[in-house]
Structure 1
């Protein structure tokens, strides 16, 4: 965690704007995180030039590049190499996620499961 005053930043990368908005609202309502949305890989990479997320929630099926390709591009940037990732999709490439240490969550998912995974990745353990 950053500091007592600062809030962790979550970047949701989802091309379905309605789903992303609902997800961002649910997370913001349930947890003290700042949540932003990008709709594709290029927008995500541009966003990370200005702000460093503490967590990425990536959809697998994205325009321009899929979630794994975006993950690989993110990991090439030294300042983003340790940022945790949750990948969501109706059809997850399980072997690819396991090989990269990406937390996967199949759609449709339970909000409590998602929040638990977010907390596991963002909350500092004593």
Structure 2
């Protein structure tokens, strides 16, 4: 699988590439935002590791351009930044990033997150179609529809929505969702879940009420 690393600090990019190659990933590198966007469009990698603070074009603008281009809009993205404030993390997730790491970070953790995201975006088991109430899923193309109208979801949003819908009206514990959808084994990333739920409700529009918060327990889809 192909991984594009867009990182202006050459030493960091080389270190990430080295560790990914040890796991048999094919890596490509760009050291500024403009070239990173061009390579994403040309190579169409399976995932992009994107630094936010870069010359030429910053990572947020690269990400926005990727989401406007049919060639790159469905490519999952892990954002990297030296900004460790909670609000910066939330802004990255609200843009639609699949995951987010602050520097300094463990390259082992980064590789694990790459593996987790690629596993959930490439997994195709059983039927490729699924329907619950007004919600329709195509697992092959990661396409989501409300009735017959397509709604653009990131790969993580698609996985999260499908996970909840496949379990009918049963309440799903927050910790279990984090384990199954993100591969997290602790409660550190609960803001990640909250942010994705907020984005999902915005995209569901008039059907947002079907995504219910069960206080003290978790979430469920009430669409049967």
Cα RMSD, aligned residues only: 1.5
Stretches of structure 2 lacking an aligned partner (at least 5 in a row): 126-224
Say how many residue pairs are matched.
118
Q: Which runs of structure 2 are paired with 1:85-100 in the superposition (5 Å)?
A: 85-92=77-84, 93-100=88-95
Q: Which runs of structure 2 are paired with 1:79-90 in the superposition (5 Å)?
A: 79-90=71-82
How far is the alpha carbon of 1:114 from its aligned partner?
Answer: 0.7
TM-score normalised over the length of structure 1 = 0.85
Q: Secondary structure at the match of 1:50?
A: helix
Are residue 13 (structure 1) and residue 6 (structure 2) matched? yes
| 33, 48, 59: which one aligns with 2:40 | 48
| 109, 119, 143: which one aligns with 1:113 | 109
TM-score normalised over the length of structure 2 = 0.50
Q: Secondary structure at the match of 1:23?
A: helix
Asked which structure has the greater CA Rg, the reply is: 2
Partner deviation per Cα, 1:20-60 (whole Å, 9 max, x = no partner): 1121011111x121011001121122223431111010111
- Relative contact order, higher structure (CA 8 A, sep 6+): 1
Stretches of structure 1 lacking an aligned partner (at least 5 in a row): 1-7
| 44, 57, 60: which one aligns with 1:65 | 57
